[in-house]
Amino acid sequence: MTEHTSKRQRLSWQTLRAYKTEVAVFLLIVNLFAIGGLLWKIKQNKPPVIATVAVGQLSRMYGQQFAADPTNTPEMIKLKTGLFMATTEKLISQAAHDKGMVVFARECVLTGDTVDLTPQITAAVDQALKTGGLQLGEGTHDALAAAR
């Protein structure tokens, strides 16, 4: 009876070893497909364009400009500051959403190739202050597209 039991154990061990090999080959194939899929996904997704805006510079520039004008009342300064903030926020949002850009304050980016959106935002804010509204003209959209 001991011979029969030891044969049975040997057969189980051989079966288990074959099973382990099949599982290892299957997992290797699954891993290769996963890596291939990830590499394909990485190749398809282009890295985002990094853009910067000199937020501190713009804030100081417009703050000084608003304060230096003797005809501005506190209510007018508050209105102009609101227009500045809304125009800046809208243009940055458009750049991030429509153009696939990642926008940072210029002060936050130390190195690397970036697109500077400060001139486009300055032009849009100037236009909004002249017209008294948030009407971003086609020229602003074209400049934003050219910046990319």
pLDDT tens string, the chain, 148 residues long: the values are: 555 555 545 555 556 566 777 777 877 888 888 888 888 877 777 777 888 888 888 888 888 888 888 888 888 888 888 888 888 888 888 888 877 788 888 888 877 788 888 898 888 888 888 887 654 444 444 444 444 4
Q: Determine the pLDDT at residue 18.
A: 63
Residue 144: which of 126, 127, 119 has the closest Cα? 119
Return the beta strands (E) in the chain as ranges.
Answer: 49-53, 101-105, 115-116
Q: 116 near 96, Cβ under 8 Å?
A: no
Q: Determine the pLDDT at residue 140.
A: 44
What DSSP state is assigned to residue 90? H
- The amino acid occupying position 136 is L
Strand order across the beta sheet in which 101-105 lies: 101-105, 49-53, 115-116
User: What is the C-alpha separation between 58 and 49, in angstroms, rounded?
Assistant: 22
80-85 contacts: CB < 8 A, separation 24 or more? 80/129, 83/125, 83/128, 83/129, 83/132, 83/133, 83/134, 84/58, 84/125, 84/128, 84/129
Q: Determine the pLDDT at residue 35.
A: 84
Q: Determine the pLDDT at residue 45.
A: 74
Angle ∠(44,35,49) on CA atoms, nearest 5: 30
Q: Determine the pLDDT at residue 31.
A: 81
Q: Determine the pLDDT at residue 39.
A: 82
Q: Determine the pLDDT at residue 16.
A: 57
